[in-house]
Amino acid sequence: MHDEPRAVGVTLMTALAASQAALVVLNPLLPDVARELGVSVASAGQLRTVSGFAAGVAALGVGLLATRFGLRELMLGAVATLACGSVVSALAPDLAVLIAAQAIAGLGIGVSYSAAVAATAEWSTAANRSRVLAVTLLGPPLAWIVGMPLVGLVGEVSWRLAWIVVPVSMAVVATGLLLRRSVTPPARERAGLRLVLSQPGVKRWTIGELFAFSGWAGALVYVGALLVESYDLSIAATGLALGFGALVYVPGNFLFRRWVDAHGRALLVALALSAAVTVALLGAVRPSLWVSLVLFSLLCFIAGGRTLAGSARGLGLAQELRLGVTGVRTAAIQSGYFVGAAIGGIALATGGYALLGAAFAGLFVAAALPHLLPLR
């Protein structure tokens, strides 16, 4: 199914945007959610753990569905699932229902993200694959650029309304675009986890992705707190600041596309080391809000290129098992939130934001190592 590249990319971009919106909408709303439900912020924060865990489990198992459903059908079902989870989240009367709703949304997030990235290869040709992938990967920053300011503004009225305005509306748009695409046949081979990891290069690539996303996701988890505690920003102002940083992710995604095919491994190493330096400075150098915004924007710019390069390399491995490979990558992303949040929390409690930045820098350096070692 090789349709016009831009149309394919836009369709898959909206599916990723809906997934990311359902994942991050909670970030600026935690204090209000905790206050209304009568729980601590720490307890409410476990909602993100629940959705991430469910998304990771779904992503690891999605390859087993490859021979039963086509990619379009998988995405339609997954987008509908995350939308249902978001609606129930908006209506939840207590924390227990909200936890269950986040688990449902997480299942949809894991499957939709994996299927969308796999479809960039299945729905394109070798000549235009990097272009389709670059457009597709604009989905997550789009959720930040559009979604975070909206969440900040609507959240001032009601955190419940934010669930409807952002992730559900994006899911509706994604569904409409997916329904315009032709039905896609299932894959010929099941992409089970053991089979996928046994393919040449997949384990090494997965380890690099896990470390990279741990550093990147950890930075995203704590950058809002860094801005609030360092410069006393409001929820709305923090949402705008995060949206502005995500905006710079876009040119990073497109700029590095020209070097992805020819210099994939070298690009992964260079971008990971650049991210290490930038995130270390973000934590240690905070003389003004503008300096922090510039450093965060630079980190987003680098992350845009590194995410594209990592995705392109993964799609070139085990091409008959692409859905399984992208499922492993999605699980690495979700695991990155666990690892990044845990390491960041320890570093922040021990040595403040300077040690936080240094810890994330170490993760980015570790992400470069698998691509520096010679292939056996």
Q: What is the pLDDT of residue 262?
A: 67
- How many residues belong to the chain? 376
Q: Are 74 and 62 in contact (CB under 8 A)?
A: yes
Q: What is the pLDDT of residues 251-275, one digit of tens each?
A: 877 777 777 766 778 899 999 999 9
**Is residue 2 pLDDT above 70, yes or no?**
no
Per-residue pLDDT band for 191 (boundaries 50, 70, 90) equals: low
Whether residue 349 is predicted with pLDDT greater than 60 in this model: the reply is: yes
pTM over 0.85: no
135 vs 364: which has the higher pLDDT: 364
What is the pLDDT confidence band of residue 376, given thresholds at 50, 70 and 90?
very low
Average pLDDT over residues 75-97: 94
Q: Compute the mean pLDDT over every residue in the chain, rounded to the nearest whole number.
A: 85
What is the per-residue pLDDT for 324?
Answer: 83
| Domain 5-372 of CATH type 3.40.640.10 | no
Lowest-confidence pick of 21-25, 40-44, 316-320: 40-44
Residue that wins the pLDDT comparison between 297 and 4: 297
Band of the pLDDT at 3, cuts 50, 70, 90?
low
* 3-class DSSP assignment, residue 9: helix
Average pLDDT over residues 200-212: 90
DSSP symbols for 31-92: HHHHHHHT--HHHHHHHHHHHHHHHHHHHHHGGGGTTTS-HHHHHHHHHHHHHHHHHHHHH-
- What residue spans define the domains of the chain? 5-372
Burial, 94: exposed, middle or buried (Cβ in 10 Å; 0-12, 13-18, 19+)? exposed
Q: What is the pLDDT of residue 227?
A: 87
**Per-residue tokens: 157:** 């009225």
For the chain, helix, strand, coil in percent to 5 are: 85, 0, 15
Reported as a pLDDT band with limits 50, 70 and 90, residue 1 is: very low
Strongest mean pLDDT among 69-73, 142-146, 154-158: 69-73
